[in-house]
Amino acid sequence: MVRFVTALLALSATALATTTCSSSSQCPEDKPCCSQYGECGTGAYCLGGCDIQSSYSIESCAPMPVCESKSYTWENLDNSILNTKYLGNASAADWTYSGYPKIENSSLLMTMPKESVGTLFANNHYIWYGKVSGKIKSSRGKGVVTAFILLSDVKDEIDYEWVGADLTAVQTNYYWQGVLDWHNSANASVSGEDTFDDWHTYEIDWQPDQLQWIIDGTVMRTVKKSDTYNSTSKQYQYPQTPSRLQMSLWPAGQSSNAEGTIAWAGGEIDWDSEDIKDTGYYYATIGQIDVTCYALPDGTTTTGNNSYVYTSSNAMETDIEVTGNSTVLGSLGATGLDMTLGAGSSSASSTSNSTDSVPTNSSGGSGQQGQSTGSTSSDADTSATTTSSSFSQGTTSNSGAANQNERVMRGSFFAVLVAVVALVAL
Ligand SMILES: *[C@@H]1O[C@H](CO)[C@@H](O)[C@H](O)[C@H]1NC(C)=O
Ligand SMILES: *[C@@H]1O[C@H](CO)[C@@H](O)[C@H](O)[C@H]1NC(C)=O
Ligand SMILES: *[C@@H]1O[C@H](CO)[C@@H](O)[C@H](O)[C@H]1NC(C)=O
Ligand SMILES: *[C@@H]1O[C@H](CO)[C@@H](O)[C@H](O)[C@H]1NC(C)=O
Ligand SMILES: *[C@@H]1O[C@H](CO)[C@@H](O)[C@H](O)[C@H]1NC(C)=O
Ligand SMILES: *[C@@H]1O[C@H](CO)[C@@H](O)[C@H](O)[C@H]1NC(C)=O
Ligand SMILES: *[C@@H]1O[C@H](CO)[C@@H](O)[C@H](O)[C@H]1NC(C)=O
Ligand SMILES: CC(=O)N[C@H]1CO[C@H](CO)[C@@H](O)[C@@H]1O
C-alpha cells in the first residue's frame, strides 16, 4: 500500500507541475486558490482550508458556510461526503471526510488500517466563536495520534491531541496564523480510566476574549486574549477567524517520518499490534459531537446570514463580514472568482479533468516531509517562534526551543498530513 501510494505520489510530483503557494508567493490567476497544504488549484482548493493570504486574491476562496448549532450522532454516514465530491453546500453534507470511517455501536470509528494513513473528518460549517464538545475514546499505541481541533483557513488553531503512547493525558495547543510558539502547548491529565478504554467529554469553549479546554466538566486550561498581545506588532496573537472542527487519526510514528516526529509520537508504529491483529486497524471512537455557536463579535458588519467572507488579508477579527453570498461552487473547475463555472453540467463534481481541483500533496505519503508544504524558509528556528508554513526538516539549530517547536509543529500539522495522504490512498 505504502509503495503504491509512494509511486502515485512520485508520479504526481513529476508528471504534473504543481504550483506551490505561501503568503509571500501567491497563486496565479488560473489556479487561484491556495489549499491548506500550500498548493494552487481550483474547485476543492477553494473550499475548506483555502488560505486567502496565499491565494491569488482574497476573493479567490469561496465564502465560508456560517456556524450552525447542532448535535451530531452516528447511526450512519448520511451526513458525510467524500472530499472529492464536496462542492461547498454545507446544508447537504455536514462533514467532509477522507480515509476509512466505520459506524459501530452508534459511534463513528475513525480507523487506520495497516500501513495506511488514517482518517480525517472536517465539519463543513465554520464556527466563529462557539463551544464544541466531543465524547471521544482516543486510539492507542506508540506512534498513533488522535486529534480534535478547530482550524481556520489562515491557520488559527485550537487543539486537543492524544498521543497513543500516553493514555493518561491529552495535549492542548493553540496558534494564531500558524505562528508556532511552544509556550502555546500544554498537557492536560485525564483522570479515571485511560483515554482509550473510557469515554471522556472534551470541550473547547472559544470566546472572543478567552479560550478554555474543559475535560469531563472541569476547566483544565484557560487562555485570555489579553495575554496574547504582541506589543511589537500591536496585535493579539489569538485565534480569531472562522474555523472548522476537524477530527483525525494519523500515523505520526510511520517509519518514513522524521525522527523527531516519531519520537514525539512515542516511537515507530507497530503494524502488528493487538488492535491490528484483532480488528485489522487502529481506531478512535467518536460519540456525540455538539456545536454551540456564539453571538458575532460586537461591531461585525452583517449583510446576510449565509457566509463569512474575509475583507482584508490581515485576517484579524475585524476583517470578517457576514454575507448572504453563496458558498457553493458550480464544479471542481470553479473558484471564488467564478463560482458558477461548470454549474448544471451532468456531473458537476467531475467536470474538471484537472488534478489541480482536489488538494493532494505529492509528499504527503512520505509523512513528515509533507508538513513542509509551502516552505519558504527555515531560518526562524533559533527563536522560540516561527511560522508553521516555514517548517522544514533538518533545521539548522539544535536549540531546545527548536526541538520544542518541532514537536509543536507536528501537532499543528497533523490534519494536513492526514488529509493529503488519505486522499491519495483512496
Ligand atoms: C444545498 O443543499 C440543499 C439540501 O440538499 C438544497 O436544498 C439546496 O438547494 C442546495 N443549495 C445549493 C446552492 O445548491
Ligand atoms: C460494540 O459492541 C460490541 C458488543 O458489546 C463490543 O464487543 C464491541 O467491542 C463494540 N465496539 C466498539 C468499537 O466499541
Ligand atoms: C507533554 O507530555 C509529553 C510526554 O508525556 C512531553 O514529551 C511533553 O514535553 C509535554 N508537553 C508539555 C508542553 O509539557
Ligand atoms: C511579535 O511581533 C513581531 C513583529 O511582527 C515578531 O517579530 C515577533 O516574533 C512576535 N512575537 C511573538 C512572540 O510571536
Ligand atoms: C437569512 O436571510 C434570508 C434572506 O435575507 C432571510 O429570508 C432569512 O429569514 C434569514 N434567516 C435567518 C435565520 O435569519
Ligand atoms: C458577494 O457577492 C457579490 C456578487 O458576486 C460580490 O459583488 C460581493 O463582493 C460579494 N461580497 C463579498 C463581501 O465578498
Ligand atoms: C481539461 O479541462 C480544461 C478546462 O477545464 C479543458 O480546456 C481541456 O481541454 C480539458 N482537457 C482534456 C484532455 O479534456
Ligand atoms: C513539503 C513538500 O514536499 N511539498 C511538496 C508538495 O508538492 C509539490 C509539488 O509536487 C512539491 O514541490 C512540494 O515540495
Domain 65-293 classification at class level: mainly beta
pLDDT at 408: 39
Residue 161 annotated as catalytic: yes
Q: Which ligand is nearest to the CA of 284?
A: 2
In angstroms, what is the span from residue 123 Cα to ligand 1's centroid? Answer: 17
> Is the CB of 185 within 6 Å of ligand 3?
yes
In angstroms, what is the span from residue 306 Cα to ligand 5's centroid? Answer: 8
Minimal-distance CA residue to ligand 7 atom 9: 353
For 73-93, letters b (16+ CB in 10 Å) and e give ebeebebbbbbbebbbebeeb
pLDDT at 360: 58
Task: Specify the residue for cell string 497563486.
Answer: 27
> Is the CB of 103 within 6 Å of ligand 1?
no
Q: How many CB atoms lie within 10 A of CB 270?
A: 15
Beta strand pairing call for 320-323 and 301-302:
parallel
Pocket test residue of 187, 195, 261, 404 for ligand 3, highest count of atoms within 8 A of CB:
187
Strands (E), 241-280: 243-250
pLDDT at 312: 97
pLDDT at 376: 27
Per-residue pLDDT of the chain (426 residues; tens, 9 = 90+): 223 333 333 333 333 567 899 999 999 999 999 998 899 999 999 999 999 999 999 999 999 999 999 999 999 999 999 998 999 999 999 999 999 999 999 999 999 999 998 999 999 999 999 999 999 999 999 999 999 999 999 999 999 999 999 999 999 999 999 998 878 999 999 998 899 999 999 999 999 999 999 999 999 999 999 999 999 999 999 999 999 999 999 999 998 888 988 999 999 999 999 999 999 999 999 999 999 999 999 999 999 999 999 999 999 999 999 999 999 999 999 999 999 998 876 544 444 445 578 775 322 222 222 232 222 222 223 233 333 332 222 222 233 333 333 433 444 443 344 344 434 433
In angstroms, what is the span from residue 355 Cα to ligand 3's centroid? Answer: 40
Q: Which pTM does this prediction carry?
A: 0.82
Q: Which ligand is nearest to the CA of 181?
A: 4
pLDDT at 345: 65
Which phi and psi angles does 108 have, rounded to 5°? -90, 125
Cell of 49: 482550508
Contact 424, 365 (CB under 8 A): yes
pLDDT at 6: 33
Minimal-distance CA residue to ligand 6 atom 6: 325
Whole-angstrom Cα distance, residue 60 to residue 203? 33
Q: Name the active-site residue from 39, 115, 157, 406.
A: 157
pLDDT at 330: 95
pLDDT at 12: 39
Q: Quick one: CA dihedral 124, 215, 264, 401, positive or negative?
A: positive
Tell me how far apart the terminal alpha carbons of the chain are, to the nearest angstrom: 11
Q: Which ligand is nearest to the CA of 68?
A: 5
Q: Domain extents for the chain?
A: 65-293
- Nearest to residue 124, comparing CAs of 244, 216, 4? 244
Residue 321 annotated as catalytic: no
> Is the CB of 1 within 6 Å of ligand 1?
no
Query: Which atom in ligand 7 lies closest to the alpha carbon of residue 351?
Result: 5
Q: Which ligand is nearest to the CA of 322?
A: 6
Whole-angstrom Cα distance, residue 123 to residue 239? 18
> Is the CB of 166 within 6 Å of ligand 3?
yes
Minimal-distance CA residue to ligand 2 atom 1: 105
Pocket test residue of 91, 307, 340 for ligand 1, highest count of atoms within 8 A of CB:
91
